[in-house]
Structure 1
Amino acid sequence: MNEQTLALHGLAIKKHGDAAGIAQITGLPEETVTKHLEAAAQAGRVNKAGEKYMLAPTAAISLQSGYSRDFAEQRANAEMNAAYDDFETVNDQVKQLITDWQTMEVGGERLPNDHSDKEYDAAIIDRLGDLHEKAEPVLDRLTAHVPRLKVYKDMLLEALERAEDGAIEWVSDARIMSYHTVWFELHEDLLRILGRERVE
């Protein structure tokens, strides 16, 4: 995969992102990402609003159709596919944990978590720490086949540590690179690499 395609791949993961965020997950220098996205914008393949970019529909289709070639080696690799299957097992647990973080059972009903119960929140963050330990060896196996994926592992650990230090927004706030935000983007990256479909 060349630099331009990798920059567009990063944009597809972000859906609506700036050059700095795309550089972070692709491993490309920010100025390189900017150069390719600006060129793509000039060619009508990318839409730009302020500092944010979004793939144009035709570019999204073109990118998707090229994945079978760009990621042929990974898609044919039995070890990577097995690691991904194990990732999905952990993913199910992450989704349940986030549901438990965002809501709580009160009188038999699921209500939004207003985070006033500090003990409840602390227990969820403890669970997240345990789940992260379970995820780490799976992430290492995936990174062995796609080294740039290591950045996700680093960002997940950073978000976890911030949450454990009391900044609870780092569990699932979509406005920052919270644990859930990073996990979602990693999942999207893997789905595109391996040609899988997201199961909601």
Structure 2
Amino acid sequence: MSEELQVLQTVRLKGRPTTDQIAAACGLDSEAVDRVLRVQAEAGRCTRTHGRHALAPAGRDRLRQLLAAERAGLDQSALARAYEDFVAYNTALKSLVTDWQLVDGTTVNDHSDAAYDAGIVERLTQLHTAFREPLAHLAGLAPRLGRYPRRLSDALAKVRAGDHGWLARPLIDSYHTVWFELHEELLGLTGRERVHEAAAGRAG
């Protein structure tokens, strides 16, 4: 599996991540990530500002080349079917996150109702359990997705331990953040565009 592809894709998905954030998402050690980033910076593909990395235009071009090569080696028919299966789980997660943020779809959830929040955490746990097998299947079709089961499980464990920010808080690897990144990966692997999925009500 290409460390270059893993690192560049993680930088794209996260926007301006630190080295440690990239390493955690990729399952690589920080030294390996640093090596890749140094090569990319020397080639004019990545920039670093205040300890955070970003893709330069040349880096985006390189990433597109790597992703195209990856797609060419995958079973697109099987991926398309797996993506259609994913859509139902994605819809369920979108509904769950909306309910976490809004009570009855209108009132901002101030999280003062512990029973209400506990019910949503239980729904998330059930969704996570149901999605294990489909996610393992996706990782079998596209090995680079093999980090997602652990990343989602780690976020869920923190939610269940009482740190509810790990359900949907942005800028950390919350359950919703990791799920969003997984969805982005699947869109890319199957040649779909988020704007078209959003128009069909399937973006999340």
What band does the TM-score fall into relative to the shorter chain? Answer: 0.7 to 0.9
Q: Distance in 1 between matches of 2:3 and 2:157?
A: 32
Match of residue 201 from structure 2: none
- The one-letter code matched in structure 1 to 2:28 is L
Is the alpha carbon distance of 1:5 and 1:130 closer, same or farther for their aligned partners in structure 2, counting shifts above 3 Å? closer
Map Cα deviations across residues 16-53 of structure 1 (whole Å, 9 max, x no partner). Answer: 21222222333433212212212322333212112210
Q: Is the 8 A contact 1:25 1:151 kept in 2?
A: yes
Structure 2 residues not aligned, in runs of 5+: 199-204
Q: What TM-score results when the alignment is normalised by the length of structure 2?
A: 0.86
Matches within 5 A, 1:24-43: 24-43=24-43
Partner of residue 166, structure 2: 170
Secondary structure of the structure 2 residue equivalent to 1:189: helix
Do the aligned partners of 2:45 and 2:58 also contact (CA within 8 Å) in 1?
yes
Q: Which whole-Å deviations, capped at 9, do the CAs of 1:87-117 have from their partners, x for residues lacking one?
A: 1221111111111111112xxx612211111
Asked if the contact 1:27/1:148 (under 8 Å) is kept, the reply is no
Q: Which runs of 5+ in 1 are unaligned?
A: none
1:197 corresponds to: 193
Query: Cα offset for 1:163?
Result: 1.3
Contact 1:68/1:195 (<8 A) preserved: no
Q: 1:48-75 CA deviation, whole Å, 9 max, x = no partner?
A: 112210111342134224422222122x
Question: 1:55: which partner in 2?
Answer: 55
Task: Please point out which of 128, 143, 149 is paired with 2:145.
Answer: 149
In structure 2, what is the equivalent of residue 85 of structure 1? Answer: 84
Q: Which runs of 4+ in 1 moved over 4 A?
A: none
Superposition CA RMSD, Å = 2.0
Where do residues 76-115 of structure 1 align in structure 2 (5 Å cutoff)?
76-105=75-104, 110-115=106-111
Query: Deviation string for 1:108-142 (max 9, x for gaps)?
Result: x6122111111111111111111112211110101
The answer to whether the 8 Å contact 2:82/2:134 transfers is: yes
The 2-side partners of 1:68 and 1:176 are apart by: 28
Distance 2:80 2:25 in 1: 21
Name which of structure 1's ranges 182-191 and 95-104 shifts more when overlaid on structure 2. Answer: 182-191
Question: Which is worse superposed, 93-102 or 170-179?
Answer: 170-179
CA contact (8 A) 2:37 2:46 kept: yes
* Contact persistence 1:5–1:63 (CA under 8 A): yes
CA distance in 1, matches of 2:83, 2:103: 30
Change (3 A) 1:170 1:148: same
Percent sequence identity over aligned pairs: 37
